[in-house]
Structure 1
Amino acid sequence: MTVRSPAVAGLFYPADAAELSASVDRMLAEASVPDVAPGVPLRALVVPHAGHRFSGPTAATGYVQLDIGSVRTVVLLGPTHRVGIRGIADAGFDAFNTPLGDVRVDRDLVARALTHPAVITAPRVHAEEHSLEVHLPFLQRQLGDFALVPLAVGDVPPATVAEVIALFDGDPQTVILVSSDLSHFEAYESARAHDAETLQRIVALDATLQPTDACGVRPLNGLLTRARAKHWQPSLVSACNSGDTPDGDLRRVVGYATVAFHAPPASSD
């Protein structure tokens, strides 16, 4: 079995398993769960991917919505920070390791993704990438046993990402997870205004966001394109920026938000 080793354990989150479990469990316990009408399925989440001490509490407000009894597979799409690619990269591994153990990759579902011409297998794209890895400890603690489809999204149009998402979103036990932060390195008040405008556009399903609006703009615009086609209903769950954290620098902040997408009421979509 081939296993991807963690690249940012000890940097973006604790490398010690006991410390990591305690930290993640605390953030999940402190996260508020939004009110959702009964029987309205959660289809997708947008969650931030900075170091846990910065964006973890915001991300946790999304993870707590995942039900161990109803979510079996997570299709995780994140941007590429280290290695650029004109396409969407499968990692080529059978599992992703974290200090909490291995997360199984569903190679059968990855094979489905590879039927799309934009999807290739490129381990080097994933080797040092943090945008997917930082989510795994939260998913491990919230869901326990689940299968992963990890896809690193490079320079592709929103329609292409939407087509890949469409390969998976018909399964009620599958959730789409898009990894993205918001604005980068603006002053605190400027970032708050910028991110508020971006979030208004996200909940309006505006798939024309720019890289200055969100670093995960390519998977995010793809999700928004698919959400509009499927009539999914977005709602802002929580938002902040790094300046709201004890370690934040108010002169240069990064924005974070969690957005949930639900199927229309009384829909089996």
Structure 2
Amino acid sequence: MTATRPPAVAGAFYPADPAELASTVDKLLDAVDVPDDDVLARGYVVPHAGYRYSGATAAHVYARLRRHSVHIGRIVLLGPAHRVRVTGVAVPTKPQWATPLGNVTIDLDAPGAADLPHDDAPHAPEHSLEVQLPFLQRAVPGVPVLPFVAGMSTVEEVADAIAATAADAIVLCSTDFSHYETDEAARIQDERTARAVEAHRPDLIGVRDACGVFALRGTVEWARRNALKPTRLALTTSADAGGDRSRVVGYPAFALG
């Protein structure tokens, strides 16, 4: 059995050609004007759709990580499992994950990782974590990543898993917001969700408000416990990238610092 997880969505969610992928990511990062006084946050919320649609929003997070790359030694990355049902959280067992840009070291020796359930099944087809890796490879090359999916779970379970693994790490929560509403309805719904994030109110984030609802609720609770102020970096929909305005997906970017 191979020790490396192969990419599942290269050529679909992002380019499969290494040169094209590197160029695509670099252009997205270069398009973001990071303020001179930007401070590295403890955590971020980032979307996970195809780069054509959510890449520009995600780049608001990764351009900041690139700015502060010398200060980043570890990444904890959590998001939903879209294709395999999960109860609680699950980290993988494979020590390497591949993208067209090369392999990413999976931080299985991270503090607390050994105490979490291990299961490769939900990770194998999952895009919510994979699409973050090429951004990380260009923004903070060589930094190890501990990914875990959060399925049906309590706010406390996910917040505790983050707390157990996030010492000296930057936390990235991968989630999109509303799905398949009209653009007008989505912006109203997503604004409510964004305000719940900003108010440290995971209880106000409903299951239809975010596909990564369990990961997001836990991340918001972790931020509340650590008195981390959520700052909105971007809030868009797929219509902003030319998508069908009658059926959009919402894309958030927040800093938690």
TM-score band by shorter chain is over 0.9
Alignment of 1:251-262 (within 5 A): 251-262=246-257
Unpaired runs of 5+ in structure 1?
A: 263-269
Instruction: Check if 1:29 corresponds to 2:25.
Output: no
| Counterpart in the other structure of 2:51 | 52
CA distance in structure 2 between the aligned counterparts of 1:114 and 1:186, rounded to whole angstroms: 40
Asked if structure 1 preserves the Cα contact closer than 8 Å seen for 2:152 and 2:214, the reply is yes
- Give structure 1 regions of 4+ aligned residues with deviation exceeding 4 angstroms: 34-37
CA deviation digits over 1:154-179, x for unaligned, max 9?
111110111111113331xx100000
Aligned partner letter, 2:133: L
Aligned partner letter, 2:215: P
Asked if structure 1 preserves the Cα contact closer than 8 Å seen for 2:3 and 2:94, the reply is yes
Asked if structure 2 preserves the Cα contact closer than 8 Å seen for 1:91 and 1:126, the reply is yes
Shift of residue 88 of structure 1?
A: 0.9
Alignment of 1:112-127 (within 5 A): 112-115=112-115, 119-127=116-124
TM-score normalised by the chain length of structure 1: 0.91
| Local SS of the residue matching 1:149 | strand
Shift of residue 31 of structure 1?
A: 1.3
Instruction: Check if 1:83 corresponds to 2:80.
Output: no
CA distance in structure 2 between the aligned counterparts of 1:41 and 1:55, rounded to whole angstroms: 22
Unpaired runs of 5+ in structure 2?
A: none
Bigger Cα displacement from structure 2, 135-144 vs 208-217: 208-217
CA distance in structure 1 between the aligned counterparts of 2:14 and 2:153, rounded to whole angstroms: 30
| Local SS of the residue matching 2:45 | strand
| Counterpart in the other structure of 2:93 | 92
Asked if structure 1 preserves the Cα contact closer than 8 Å seen for 2:40 and 2:64, the reply is no
Asked if structure 1 preserves the Cα contact closer than 8 Å seen for 2:43 and 2:172, the reply is yes
Asked if structure 1 preserves the Cα contact closer than 8 Å seen for 2:97 and 2:105, the reply is yes
CA deviation digits over 1:187-220, x for unaligned, max 9?
0101111111111111111111112111111011
CA RMSD of aligned residues (A): 1.3
Between the two proteins, the alignment pairs up a number of residues equal to 253
Aligned partner letter, 1:147: P
Bigger Cα displacement from structure 2, 74-83 vs 161-170: 161-170
| Counterpart in the other structure of 1:156 | 153
CA distance in structure 1 between the aligned counterparts of 2:167 and 2:97, rounded to whole angstroms: 25
* Pick aligned residue for 1:180 from 175, 181, 185: 175
Q: Percent identity?
A: 42
CA deviation digits over 1:111-147, x for unaligned, max 9?
72231xxx31111111100000000000000011100
Asked if structure 2 preserves the Cα contact closer than 8 Å seen for 1:237 and 1:258, the reply is yes
TM-score normalised by the chain length of structure 2: 0.95
CA deviation digits over 1:25-53, x for unaligned, max 9?
0000001224646xx54100000000000
Asked if structure 2 preserves the Cα contact closer than 8 Å seen for 1:34 and 1:237, the reply is no
Q: CA, structure 1 residues 78+33, in 2 after alignment: closer, same or farther (shift >3 Å)?
A: same
Asked if structure 2 preserves the Cα contact closer than 8 Å seen for 1:47 and 1:179, the reply is yes
CA distance in structure 1 between the aligned counterparts of 2:17 and 2:105, rounded to whole angstroms: 21
CA distance in structure 2 between the aligned counterparts of 1:31 and 1:6, rounded to whole angstroms: 27
| Counterpart in the other structure of 2:185 | 190
| Local SS of the residue matching 2:200 | coil
